[in-house]
Amino acid sequence: MPLTFVKYKINETWFEGPGRAWLVHGAAQRLPETGAPGSRGRLAPPPEARPLPAAPALAVASRGVRGGPLTARRSEELEASMDLGSPEQDPEMKAEYSSVYVGREDDIKKSERMTAVVHDREVVIFYHKGEYHAMDIRCYHSGGPLHLGEIEDFDGRPCIVCPWHKFKITLATGEGLYQSINPKDPSAKPKWCSKGIKQRIHTVKVDNGNIYVTLSNEPVKYDSDFYATGNFKVIKSPS
Q: What gap in Å lies between CA 134 and CA 81, rounded to an integer?
A: 46
Q: In this predicted model, what pLDDT tens digit does every residue of 164-201 receive, in sequence order?
A: 999 999 999 999 999 998 888 878 889 999 999 999 99
Q: In this predicted model, what pLDDT tens digit does every residue of 110-142 receive, in sequence order?
A: 999 999 999 999 999 999 999 999 999 999 999
One domain for residues 26 and 102: no
Range of the domain at 25: 1-43
Q: What gap in Å lies between CA 52 and CA 47, rounded to an integer?
A: 13
We report the CATH number of the domain holding residue 175 as: 2.102.10.10
pLDDT at 153 over 80: yes
Name the more confident of 47 and 96. Answer: 96
Tell me if 184 is assigned to some domain: yes
Q: What gap in Å lies between CA 213 and CA 100, rounded to an integer?
A: 5
Q: Within 13 Å of residue 49, how many CA atoms lie on the same side as its CB?
A: 5
Angle (CA) 114 223 228, round 5°: 45
Q: Within 13 Å of residue 88, how many CA atoms lie on the same side as its CB?
A: 3
Q: What gap in Å lies between CA 169 and CA 128, rounded to an integer?
A: 14
One domain for residues 105 and 32: no
pLDDT at 223 over 90: yes
One domain for residues 104 and 201: yes
Tell me if 72 is assigned to some domain: no
**64 φψ region: left (φ > 0), alpha (ψ -120 to 50), beta (else):** left
Number of domains in the chain: 2
